[in-house]
């Protein structure tokens, strides 16, 4: 993949851009939106937003990921204005109203349209359970959750995601023999890295006030689960303890103690593989379990096997 050639090709005006330069065409677009309808046979579709004309407010039954390849643009998502800059992305949930302002000749916005089944298959089923953002992100794709309909990411400092995106766009422009599968696989890598990378920044202006509290609470617990208390966390987040307890259960489906247990057990899972020199008892003690009977019960309840079985099975799979 040649990055400079990719940029030249994407910056080049196409036939649709040239049509949109005509004033009479731009006026007609206000009443009739030229939009590529989602093909039900395709799980992933890629297109470039037209320049010189706004995209009117619309919604659809697929998930949309917009990537600002070059320049910047104004968006309105779920009634909230949002300026998208170079290397920023918006992930917009289904049935969420959004519009795009006029793109100049120097602006390139790429649209990745994904069926919900594709997102659930390649994102939710592969989420790293001990990652706060991935856990929170999975909750946003729950159809019953209408509190948060989009997220804004900044991937400018994440060279790996940018590489995946450039390769994906190159494959779109220069399809190979197995192009469809390759594009789906690369999008899978983009989605996984979006929710799993520490370099990915979430623009919290896209979150409702209650979701901002939940995100900060999850991050707080992830950092402090060994010596965290609900009272201290509520004080540090400047919210009432009762309200925080209710919000956690309502928005994530888990209580404070269940989240703490989840973080402890995921830490233990990692250490079982990363520290074969340590006994299971040493690891569980380091992760906050002084009662071994209680620990074994919790581990088996969560993973349907004992810690020893998990360690042996994981090591066996790794060697094979």
Q: What is the pLDDT of residues 247-276, one digit of tens each?
A: 988 878 889 999 999 899 989 998 998 898
Which residues, 6 or more positions from 137, have their beta carbon under 8 angstroms from its beta carbon?
Answer: 123, 127, 151, 194, 195
Residue 32 pLDDT exceeds 60: no
Asked if pLDDT for residue 146 goes beyond 50, the answer is: yes
Residue 117: what pLDDT? 79
Residue ranges of alpha helices (H) inside 174-279 are 179-196, 209-224, 230-237, 241-252, 256-274
Q: What is the pLDDT of residues 8-22, one digit of tens each?
A: 999 998 877 777 777
Q: By CB neighbour count within 10 A (0-12 exposed, 13-18 middle, 19+ buried), where does 242 fall?
A: exposed
pLDDT, tens digit (0-9, with 9 covering 90-100), for 47-93:
998 888 888 888 888 889 999 999 999 999 988 888 999 999 998 88
Q: What is the pLDDT of residue 140?
A: 60
The full set of domains in the chain, from first to last, is 3-203 (2.60.120.280), 209-319 (1.10.10.60)
Tell me the pLDDT of the chain averaged across its residues.
83
- For the cut 80, the answer to whether the pLDDT of residue 145 exceeds it is no
Q: Report pLDDT digits (tens) over 200-254.
A: 556 655 666 777 788 888 889 988 999 999 999 999 999 999 999 999 888 788 8
CB 63 within 8 A of CB 119: yes
Q: What is the mean predicted confidence (pLDDT) over 133-146?
A: 61
Burial of 36: CB neighbours in 10 Å, binned 0-12, 13-18, 19+: exposed
């Amino acid at each position: 993949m040649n990055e400079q050639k990719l940029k030249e090709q994407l910056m080049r005006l196409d036939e649709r851009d040239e049509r949109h330069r005509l004033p009479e065409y731009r006026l007609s677009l206000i009443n009739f939106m030229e939009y590529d309808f989602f093909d039900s046979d395709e799980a992933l579709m890629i297109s470039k937003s037209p320049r010189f004309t706004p995209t009117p407010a619309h919604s659809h039954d697929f998930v949309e990921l917009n990537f600002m390849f070059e320049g910047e643009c104004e968006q309105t998502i779920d009634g909230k204005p949002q300026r998208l800059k170079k290397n920023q992305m918006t992930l917009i949930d289904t049935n969420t109203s959004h519009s795009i302002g006029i793109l100049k000749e120097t602006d390139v916005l790429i649209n990745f349209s994904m069926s919900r089944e594709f997102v659930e298959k390649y994102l939710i089923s592969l989420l790293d359970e001990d990652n706060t953002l991935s856990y929170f992100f999975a909750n946003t794709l729950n159809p019953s959750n209408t509190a948060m309909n989009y997220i804004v990411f900044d991937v400018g400092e994440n060279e790996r995601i940018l590489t995946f995106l450039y390769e994906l766009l190159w494959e779109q422009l220069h399809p190979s023999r197995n192009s469809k599968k390759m594009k789906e696989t690369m999008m899978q890598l983009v989605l996984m890295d979006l929710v799993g990378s520490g370099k990915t920044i979430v623009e919290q202006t896209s979150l409702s006030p209650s979701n901002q509290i939940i995100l900060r609470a999850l991050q707080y617990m992830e950092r402090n689960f060994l010596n965290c208390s609900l009272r201290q966390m509520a004080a540090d987040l400047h919210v009432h303890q009762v309200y925080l307890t209710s919000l956690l259960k309502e928005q994530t489906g888990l209580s404070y103690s269940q989240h703490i247990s989840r973080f402890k057990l995921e830490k233990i899972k990692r250490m079982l593989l990363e520290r074969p020199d340590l006994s299971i008892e040493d690891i569980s003690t380091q992760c906050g379990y002084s009662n071994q009977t209680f620990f074994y019960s919790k581990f088996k309840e969560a993973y349907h096997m004992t810690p020893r079985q998990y360690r042996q099975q994981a090591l066996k799979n790794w060697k094979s």
